[in-house]
Every structure is written in C-alpha cells, then in structure tokens.
Amino acid sequence: MKAAVKQRIDQYTKTADIEYNLLHFDLAVTNKGKAFRDYDVHSVLKRSGIKQTSTTKGREWFEVDLDTAIAAIEAVKKGESSLGQIKATTHMEQIIFRPEQEKAIVETLASIDKGKTKKL
C-alpha cells in the first residue's frame, strides 16, 4: 500500500513542483465503509480554522503537524465535520507583551468596539 501511496503523491507533486516527506498513510474508508477523498479531510481542516499554506504552488496543502493531520483523517472516518476542541499545534512561540504594549492593545480594541475609525 505504501508504494501505491507514494506513486500517487509523486504523480501529483511532479506537476505541482512540491517536495514532500511521507510520514503517514491510511485507507480512505470511513467507519461505515464508504470511501472518502482528500477534499473531505481538507474540509475538516478548513472548518477547524486551519488555513491553507500560501508557500507552495499547490492549493491543496495545509501547514499542520502530523497529529493534527491524523486527527482530521480520523474525524472524516467518524463522520465528524471538524476537529472540535482539538487545536492545531503551531510552531510559534507565545508573544509576551510589555505592560505598555498590553495597555495599547486593550485601548485599541476598546476603541474599535466603540466604533472609532480614526487614529487616536
């Protein structure tokens, strides 16, 4: 099965000029025995708030960690439309604002909530 998966990915990535690492593969069959497509997994990712990557030529690629990708596949298999409470792991460090930055953010959000559109 792995050889068939690799062959199919090679067909697609050759025309999209994309390099990949095959980290996981699975049968695209739901728990009820119905076949599904990659687009079904894409829909779960999109409904879960995960955006497509803009760094590649292809439009079918998402920048997610392996656990999130597997969770999306499992969601499709179970008939779920999103990842629910699962949050995608990001590789970004949490930003800790200085007190004056935090104050500026709070004031800006309050101004937006009040409908202000001009600079203060």
Summarised one tens digit per residue, pLDDT across range 3-62 is 888 887 787 777 666 777 788 888 889 999 999 988 899 999 988 888 887 665 556 778
Q: Name the pTM for this structure.
A: 0.61
Which tens digit of pLDDT belongs to each residue from 49-106?
A: 888 876 655 567 788 889 999 999 999 999 998 887 555 454 556 778 889 988 998 8
Which residue type occupies 107?
A: E
Question: What pLDDT, on a 0 to 100 scale, did the predictor assign at position 92?
Answer: 57
Nearest-angstrom CA–CA distance, 57 and 65: 20
Question: What pLDDT, on a 0 to 100 scale, did the predictor assign at position 115?
Answer: 76
